[in-house]
Structure 1
Amino acid sequence: MTGLHRVVVTGIGVVAPGGATREDFWQRIVSGKPAVRRVTAFDPEPFRSRIAAECDFDPAAYGLTPRDVRRTDRFVQLALASADEAVRDSGLDLAAVDLDRTGVSLGTAVGSSITLEDEYVVVSDRGRDWAVHADHAMPFLHDALVPSNAAAELAARYGARAQATVVSTGCTSGIDSIGHAYRLIQDGEADVMVAGASDAPITPITVACFDAIRATTPHDGDPEEGSRPFDADRQGFVLGEGAAVLVLERLEHAVARGARIYCEVGGYASRANGYHMTGLRPDGVELGLAIEDAMRQAAVAPDDLGYISAHGSGTVQNDRHETAAYKRALGEAAWTTPISSIKSVVGHSLGAIGSIEMAACALAIDRGVVPPTANLTTPDPECDLDYTPLHSREADVAHALSVGSGFGGFQSAMVFSRVGGA
């Protein structure tokens, strides 16, 4: 595509289950050891699904003050922590960049769900009173109502005065938020974007919602064995939490300041299936079209792909839909391309997971390693591709594809490529 600016990744920050930093996260996913346990955030006994991938997150360790913690939801705190790591990693001197051309794009599926639920419990006296006692609410409750508060917090933290946007497209929010930032830089609207996603959905109301549609697993054995994408014995996904933020820059801007470049954003596409709020067409046509479009933009042929980060939620419907999409979009290369789902290790953090998976793609290109799909011991015969069971493998990853599939029919795909390498 002519006339568009090239966009690169120069910083990565991650807070994920089993990993308080980018390096912790990477070591965890390549080890294939799931960070899943019985829920500790509340008593899960009344619920169908009682396990989750929780972050061991200490806000003070990330420099957040008691005031920060008091006025922000956990999802905002996770976003702040991962963004700070990404900005440090990028080496950006905020005093030297043009903040009028620096922006924020943050994705989330459920926003401040913890604060909203906790405060409702307070103002309604645990649901007893229909007429709530508003005078008992925290003074920052209005911020929790709008998911844009996280993007605003990041913009204020860095003084970013270009566009500050929240993207909320369910479980594709993390890919779509990076895609939005990518297009702003492509079009010349910004030089630098702090882009990613965050969600902290491990609350009673969220767990109850997924219980109701039986999307999450009722697994009651070893929690670490609960997330089983593409496995014949899977029972649903494991709810998770976390955040990942990437620093995206116009290529010339990054080169001019001597930045370390992880990879280039080659292409991004999204489609809607216009079909069902939670259902998927078995032929995977819309996801396949998104994959084809993203690869066309990146000028990447199916045989060029070195790794695919699967959506791989661990539901029968999604895993089979996704497998069909790869076959449709990639042809014979679908059977020879390494694919894996890191949700088997860090769970499904709803809107955040797409950015976490894009961080994994950038690191896979940088490190030359494909992380495994944990717990894949008995493959579903209908999921007959190379889903990298149990163990990571070394690989020359010049191009990585990641896909996302969300309730509402959202289907997104993004390609990262090694700069100057094929």
Structure 2
Amino acid sequence: MERVVITGLGAITPLGNDVETLWTNLLAGQSGIAQIDTFDTARHKAKIAGLVRNFDAEAIFGRKEARRMDRFCQFALAAAEQAVADSGLDLANVDLERMGVYVGSGIGGLTTLLEQDGVLQDRGPERVSPTLVPMMISNMAAAMISIRYGSQGPTLSPVTACSIGNTAIGEAYRLLAMGGADVIIAGGSEAAVSEISLASFSNATALSTRNDEPGRASRPFDAGRDGFVMAEGAGILVLETLSHALRRDARIYGEVIGYGASSDAYHMVATHPEGIGPYLAMRAALREAGIKPEEVDVIHAHATSTELGDKSETLAIKRLFGDAAYQIPVTANKSMTGHMLGAAGGVQAIALVKSLNEGMITPTINQFERDPVCDLDYVPNAARQADLKIGISNSFGFGGHNAVIVLKSYDSVHRVD
């Protein structure tokens, strides 16, 4: 079996459009949540979101190419370009038949679909864009990245709702470990903050309506939490076999050592109240990694700021780690970014990689009132320095999809120079 390492990172987020800005703002406990100003929210219950700002697709890709991509695809390709550049890959010396792309989106090109439906209603079928379908389908982010780099290996667009990023990274890890590829670009992207999605989530009573204080609205594990905050962006990583990375003397951020997936088999949108699915996914990930629960130094939680979701994840952590659960720091990045849906897992993986590299745990902000059920160490309100070697990242999605990855700092795994 090949060992699998991380050599490149790229991010487009409400906290910044590159990894270093994202990381700086996470450590500072900065919120990326603000009032929605991209459409009129007067009739909506929720009026806040984590929006990507200062993203100029035409400046990055040129006007013609930008207009052929939905916003989710633009985010994915921009983040992939960052990650590939960061990895230092020389494509002239990469076997492109052994380079793949595993990038997904939960909702895909919703904005394009809505815009073109408006064209259909107002101007007739003859004015609907012939590029509607390729722009809206969720596999197009992976496809455009593959086209951009000429990668001819396996290309996959997993659709596991909000666990997509971890599903993509985990499945890429397994293919690389089995020797099925040398390099895979993996992660997720989403751009679904729209009137219709905001209305639907609001009517499901899933969203926070703390509209007057957006920076304090997303509060995972806090007793006053009242729902999640929609967000958008992309998180992309370059994964390689260790042998491939060493041959080109690549800088290595860390190693993927385990992946676990499970299904709640319970409900369309609600997680199992006892956290059975998340528990099974975490347990499977640790077993595949070959590590004991007490070896985990930090947990990056899914933690969206819903009453049931945060409670069930806490119960799952307690079930797996027992009394040791109270000794393991648990952090919730969504307290700052909001819930980026299909992009959440990729961005969260990047945050964990940076934590392992720098020995810093990002905070869970907006911890004001302790929930007696959510009683673990959530690194409240301020970043913390710590000795970190192994961390897990949790991602769960509608339909009961659960995906967990285990990352390890590279210096802790018999580094070969």
Q: What TM-score results when the alignment is normalised by the length of structure 2?
A: 0.97
Alignment partner, residue 320 of structure 2: 329
Cα contact 1:284–1:325 (8 A) shared by 2:
yes
The 5 Å alignment of 1:182-197 reads: 182-197=173-188
Aligned mates of 1:404, 1:237 — CA distance in 2: 14
Match of 1:107 among 85, 104, 107: 104
How many residues are treated as equivalent by the alignment? Answer: 413
Corresponding residue of 1:306: 297
Q: Report the Cα offset of residue 61 of structure 1.
A: 7.5
Q: Which runs of 5+ in 2 are unaligned?
A: none
Is 1:32 aligned to residue 29 of structure 2? yes
- Mapped pair 1:396 → 2:354: no
Residue equivalent to 1:169: 160
Aligned partner letter, 1:399: I
Q: What amino acid is the match of 1:393? A: R
SS of residue matched to 2:402: strand
Tell me, in whole angstroms, the C-alpha distance in 2 between the residues paired with 1:203 and 1:60: 19
Q: Are the structure 2 counterparts of residues 48 and 272 from structure 1 closer, same or farther at C-alpha, using a change threshold of 3 Å?
A: same
Offset at 1:62? Answer: 6.0
Cα distance in structure 2, aligned partners of 1:365 and 1:155: 29
> Runs ≥4 in structure 1, deviation > 6 angstroms?
none
Q: Is the CA contact (8 Å cut-off) linking 1:59 and 1:77 kept in structure 2?
A: no
Rounded Cα–Cα distance in structure 2 between residues aligned with 1:328 and 1:416: 21
Q: Which residue of 1 aligns with 2:14?
A: 17
1:141 matched residue in structure 2: 132
Which residue matches 2:349? 358
Asked if 1:83 corresponds to 2:80, the answer is yes
1:284 alignment partner, one of 275, 279, 288: 275
Give the counterpart of 1:385 among 369, 373, 376.
376
CA contact (8 A) 2:163 2:397 kept: yes
* C-alpha displacement of 1:220: 2.3
* 8 Å Cα contact 2:190-2:234 kept in structure 1: yes
- Contact residue 368 and residue 396 of structure 1 kept, 8 A: yes
Cα distance, 1:333 vs structure 2: 1.6
Q: Is the 8 A contact 1:62 1:81 kept in 2?
A: no
Residue 299 of structure 1 deviates from its aligned partner by 2.0
Contact kept, 8 Å, 1:18 with 1:346, in 2: the verdict is yes
- Which amino acid is 1:348 matched to? H
Residue 11 of structure 2 aligns to a residue whose secondary structure is strand
Query: Which residues of 2 match residues 404-415 of structure 1 at below 5 A?
Result: 404-415=395-406
Aligned partners of 2:357, 2:286: CA distance in 1, in Å?
Answer: 20
How far did residue 280 of structure 1 move?
2.1
Maintained 8 Å contact 2:218/2:334 = yes
Q: Aligned-pair RMSD on alpha carbons?
A: 1.2
Deviating more after overlay: 218-227 vs 339-348: 218-227
What is the 5 A alignment of 1:220-299? Answer: 220-299=211-290
Contact 2:58 2:66 in 1 (8 A): no
Q: Quick one: distance in 2 between partners of 1:388 and 1:379?
A: 12
Alpha-carbon distance, 1:183 to partner: 1.3
Q: Could you tell which deviates more after superposition, 293-302 or 32-41?
A: 293-302
User: Match for residue 179 of structure 1?
Assistant: 170
**Mapped pair 1:199 → 2:190:** yes
Conserved? CA contact 2:17–2:55, under 8 Å = no
| Aligned partner of 2:121 among 115, 120, 124 | 124
What is the CA deviation profile of residues 70-95 of structure 1, one whole-angstrom value per residue up to 9, with x for unaligned ones? 11000000001100000011000011
Are the aligned partners of 2:35 and 2:211 in contact in 1 as well (CA < 8 Å)?
no
Percentage of pairs with the same residue: 39
2:151 corresponding residue in structure 1 = 160
The answer to whether the Cα contact below 8 Å between 1:73 and 1:114 also exists between their aligned partners in 2 is yes
Q: How does 1:339-378 map to 2 (within 5 A)?
A: 339-378=330-369
| Structure 2: distance between partners of 1:264 and 1:18 | 25
Given that 1:12 and 1:246 are in contact with CA atoms closer than 8 Å, whether structure 2 keeps it comes out as: yes
Does the Cα contact within 8 Å between 1:41 and 1:202 map onto a contact in 2? no
Residue 276 of structure 1 aligns with an amino acid whose one-letter code is H
- 2:105–2:139 CA contact under 8 A, matched in 1: no
- Once residues 287 and 257 of structure 1 are traced to their aligned partners in structure 2, the CA distance between those partners, rounded to angstroms, is 38
